[in-house]
A and B are shown apart, each in its own frame.
Chain A
Amino acid sequence: MIRTEEMLLNVGPQHPSTHGVFRIVLKIDGETIIEAKPVIGYLHRGTEKLAEDLQYTQIIPYTDRMDYLAAMTNNYVICHAVETMMNLEIPERAEYLRVIVMELGRVASHLVWFGTYLLDIGAMSPFLYAFREREAIINMLNEISGARLTFNYMRVGGVKWDAPDGWIEKVRGFVPYMREQLAGYHDLVTGNEIFLNRVKGIGTYSAEEALNYSLSGANLRCTGVNWDLRKDEPYSIYNRFTFDVPVFSSGDAWARYQCRMAEIEESLKILEQAVEQIPSEGTVMAKVPKIIKPPAGEGFVRIESPRGEIGCYIASEGKKEPYRLKFRRPSFYNLQILPKLLVGENISNLITILGGIDIVLGEVDG
């Protein structure tokens, strides 16, 4: 008779595949996970507390640090919340610039996800390919905002700077380039037998579970729920673009992969239309007061970030600082389902499932 015993295994907070400082305490039997307990908070910086002493424009740089892979959407959500409360009309050109940078950010974010996911699964090269394309995007965003990751580009009422000369053309040129590279990714990865075996049927959940666990973004769309705030509750000028919402129904890591890859294509479609439609000149800042004071009351808006539904709640007293600021951070909500998915899986699948949820720790920990 062999004596077996369960073992506690600490994965993280320093671990290559937790994409940051996420920690999960596993109870394992051999390599089979019996229980998983996520531990978060290592990157908690108290953004919401800090924001209570800051003016709205000063808060925007803090939002860059939440989802640092798609900071433009974070910039936008707080601006959008304030603008909704103040009922501001945004200049046409600013709206287009916002959409362009947000969609570029979405592509960049999905590229990082693609690269790191494949790295988690053990393929090294796609990571570097994805980062090559991401670098092109980062350079473009750097040109328009002056920063590579923490853009601080948007302002209440518009954007900080107009696009430099020829920038729109660069974005225009990027779209076909990215399409070409995307086809290359599909050739390299999507049909790979080993990859398919690693992701198919892994971390499956139903649409009901997804809704019950408040999942959003690709994590929700992979279960067949057709829900994209850009389409269903159009904000900014998204109702002007023709694009599809990729929906897959199997609810496993494979569906999530397909969903995100298809979203890159859809974002490219939006980019393509936006660079055609953008007015060639015009102001990029609405006439807003020097000191922004939303009317007293509560405002909550939600938009579609690359990771899902990002929301911003502002309780205002009509002063220049928010009384209370709260972000609905998609990674934080999406991560909740992890312990449930892990039971009975082995350690290799832990990495596949965790990677498939696509979390950014800056966002999980707020």
Chain B
Amino acid sequence: MTKEVDGQGEENLSIEEQKKKAAAEAKAKALELAKQRKAEKEAQEKTEAPAEEPLSVEDQKKKAAAEAKAKALELAKQRKAEKDAQEKAETPAEEPLSVEDQKKKAAAEAKAKALELAKQRRAEKEAQEKAEAPAEEPLSVEDQKKKAAAEAKAKALELAKQRKAEKEQAEAGVTSSISTEDEDKEKALALAKAKAAAAAKAKAAAAAKAKMAREAGQTDSEPADETEASNDEKALAAAKAKAAAAAKAKAAAAAKAKAMREAGDGGDAAADEKAKAIAAAKAKAAAAAKARASRDAGGEPASDDEKAKAIAAAKAKAAAAAKARAAGGTAKAEAEPAETKPSPYQPMLDQYVALIREQLGADVLEDAYINKLSKDVPTLVAKSDTYYIIAELLKTHDDLHFEYLSESHGTDFKTHFEVYNYLYSYKNRRPVVLKAKVDREKPEVASLAPLWEGANWPERETYDLLGITFTNHPNMTRIMLPDDWVGHPLRKDYEPFDVEV
């Protein structure tokens, strides 16, 4: 904990310093760039310097991380400074919150596109260099990787690297063990990626991009570190598997992504970020989003592990943004008509109704609708005298085949009772709700227990608490309350017979 706080303090300090500086010389963009490069180089040097004892390695790592963070922040500052310089110098921000503000502002004014792209390219190159530098011990490898992750804002580069590493791995045939920490991190990363992929719903675009990246990677023939290679390969494989899985559940994921986009202004932080990323993509400033993502990672006062996770998340976000952009309007175009579509279950309902009408006559159903409040379940309302034959058809007809009664209960709607049955077909994997209105004066309806044994007790419960008598039930007695209980408590007009009870 103290370590983290220390790190944060250090980072805040550098933020302040640099911010002041940036505010002062905001106009000198070129100078800033030069400085940045210097800072990066330093950070790199420090990371690469072989440590002699664990403690110093730790220190170095922290410093390097702080510097890397500072650098990432600088990008934000830079852009902010540009704007600020036009107005006036702003008081230096001291809390992560203000960093957030900066970020937002930065995103809003994603106009420095060209500059950003240039920077990005430069960062790519650097990250590549760093990754290629042979590590002398696992810890420094870790550092480098983290840094590289933080810096490698472009997903294209990431993919290229992975591809290259894969190739390397295949050639060298070297397997190296990795720590669980690595694995965890990668898992998180891969998952985040997969999530992003699903959310962006731009599979085709992603593939195209990946191919592009692969080509780019093939031109690159620098030898990479073995450890990292295997790690990256694994990450890629996992990401791929996850992506495949995600693609399978595409409909759901798409719906979720849509919902997220819609609820972007809600309290959900992640959704917020994603929405922001998408907004950025729309503004055709994916680079800005990426830079912001890296800043997110840099501005996170957290332990190494969490940082790594955050970086992964940020990267995924950036990738999502990029992909969303790449997918262009297609994703959007797909998403919008889906919203206007009534319900995915509508055809099912139509089929049920058609089947029932065909088999049992046109007027057996009182109503049939999609219950939007209940996950769009198709709902059939039977008349109390056709209730049993409809249930029988639902169970026995091959196209319906609702062999499972999930729930059965009744409700007192004052004007009438209603019996509610939630049926499910394991054969066809779909649900239906069968309801029937029951006359309140003569509360009698056919029992479903002869069809589904599972309706036995629930109907007894309904009888017990609501007083609906189910005819043909094998054992129509009270189940919850004592046999001598007077009245049916769930009726809206129930008065306790013995007020003391």
Contacts and interface: CB of A to CB of B under 8 A. Distances in A.
A and B: partners? yes
Interface of A: 40-41, 44, 46, 48-49, 84-85, 89-93, 165, 208, 211-216, 225, 227, 232-234, 239-240, 242, 273, 276-277, 279-283, 285-287, 294-295, 297-302, 309, 311, 313, 315, 323-324, 326, 328, 332-333, 335-337, 365-366
A333 B426 contact: no
B269 A92 contact: yes
Given A239-B252, A313-B420, A89 B411 contact: no
Contact of B422 (A40, A44, A240, A300): A300
Contacts of B373: 84-85, 294-295, 297-299
A273 B266 CA distance: 25
Contact of B267 (A91, A277, A300): A91
Contacts of A280: 300, 302, 306, 309-310
Nearest to A81: B374
B461 to A, nearest CB: 8
Interface stretch (B32-40, B123-131, B166-174, B452-460): B452-460
A282 B187 contact: no
22 contacts: A84-B375, A85-B374, A91-B266, A91-B268, A92-B270, A212-B403, A213-B453, A227-B426, A239-B249, A240-B195, A277-B191, A283-B267, A283-B268, A300-B374, A302-B407, A311-B406, A324-B412, A326-B407, A332-B461, A337-B453, A366-B461, A366-B480
Contacts of B375: 84, 233, 301
Interface string B147-191: 000000000000000000000000000000000000010011001
Nearest to B264: A89
Given A89-B260, A239-B249, A240-B191, A211 B270 contact: no
B118 interface: no
Contact of A89 (B268, B306, B426, B429): B268
Interface in B177-212: 184, 187-188, 191-192, 195
Given A84-B373, A242-B245, 4 more contacts: A282-B269, A283-B268, A326-B407, A336-B454
Most A Cβ at <10 Å: residue of B267, B302, B372: B267
A89 B266 contact: yes
Contacts of A89: 259-260, 262-263, 266, 268, 271
Interface string B358-391: 0000000000000111110100000000000000
Nearest to A294: B373
Contacts of B267: 91, 283, 285-287
Task: State the 6 A-B residue pairs at the shortest beta-carbon distance, nearest first.
Answer: A214-B454, A282-B269, A89-B263, A92-B270, A41-B480, A328-B407
B24 interface: no
Nearest to B404: A211
B490 interface: yes
Given A240-B191, A279-B270, A336 B456 contact: yes
A49 B412 CA distance: 12
A225 B424 CA distance: 13
A298 B371 CA distance: 8
B481 interface: yes
Interface in B448-493: 452-458, 461, 465, 478-482, 489-490
A242 B461 CA distance: 39
Given A300-B433, A301-B375, A279 B269 contact: yes
Interface string B1-23: 10000000000000000000000
Nearest to A365: B480
Contacts of B195: 240
Contacts of B245: 242
Nearest to B313: A279
A273 B191 contact: yes
A273 B407 contact: no
A222 B245 CA distance: 26
B475 to A, nearest CB: 9
Contacts of B268: 89-92, 282-283, 286
Contact of A311 (B242, B306, B422, B481): B422
Most B Cβ at <10 Å: residue of A93, A276, A299: A276
B182 to A, nearest CB: 12
Contacts of A326: 407, 409, 411, 420
Given A84-B374, A300-B433, A92 B480 contact: no
A350 B455 CA distance: 23
Given A232-B429, A313-B409, A333 B457 contact: yes
Contact of B266 (A208, A287, A313): A287
A305 to B, nearest CB: 13
Nearest to B452: A212
Contacts of A301: 374-375
Contact of A40 (B259, B404, B411, B480): B480
B269 A41 contact: no
Contacts of B406: 214, 216, 302, 309, 311, 328
A366 to B, nearest CB: 7
B188 A276 contact: yes
B106 interface: no
Nearest to B403: A211
B253 interface: yes
Most B Cβ at <10 Å: residue of A165, A227, A285: A227
